[in-house]
């Protein structure tokens, strides 16, 4: 199944400067896994040293935020997964 993954500007240099990529996957987590297989330099930005998704990485499917428990939900052909980074400050 083909899904669009919107790449944040911070990671585009690792994805040949592309903003929107076609990625195969049946769930958001599978798409992210396949994205990292295609572009391995993204791994350190998305996963910690233990292989867990970093808590500051946010995911949206078709504009709706999904939480950790929704990362295995099924996707439909043509859905769009967006990656964002939460930024803290004071």
Q: What is the CATH number of the domain that holds 55?
A: 3.10.20.30
Is the whole-model pTM more than 0.95?
no
Classify residue 37: in a domain, yes or no.
yes
What is the tens place of the pLDDT at every residue in 10-21?
999 999 999 999
Cα distance between residue 90 and residue 76, in whole Å:
39
Classify residue 90: in a domain, yes or no.
no
Classify residue 18: in a domain, yes or no.
yes
Query: 3-state DSSP call for residue 66?
Result: strand
CA distances to 15, 25, 39, 69, 70 from 73, rounded to whole Å, are 25, 11, 23, 8, 5
Classify residue 53: in a domain, yes or no.
yes
Alpha helices in 1-90 (DSSP H): 28-38, 43-46
Number of domains present in the structure of the chain: 1
What is the tens place of the pLDDT at every residue in 41-90?
999 999 999 999 999 999 999 999 999 899 999 999 999 999 999 876 65
Domain boundaries, position 49: 2-85
């Amino acid at each position: 199944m083909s899904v669009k993954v919107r790449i944040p500007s911070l990671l585009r240099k690792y994805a040949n400067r592309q903003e929107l990529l076609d990625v195969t996957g049946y769930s958001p987590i599978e798409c992210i896994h396949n994205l990292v297989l295609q572009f391995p330099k993204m791994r350190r930005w998305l996963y910690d040293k233990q292989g867990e998704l970093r808590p500051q990485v946010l995911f949206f499917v078709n504009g709706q935020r999904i939480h950790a428990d929704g990362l295995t939900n099924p996707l439909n052909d043509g859905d769009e997964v967006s990656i964002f980074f939460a930024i803290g400050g004071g």
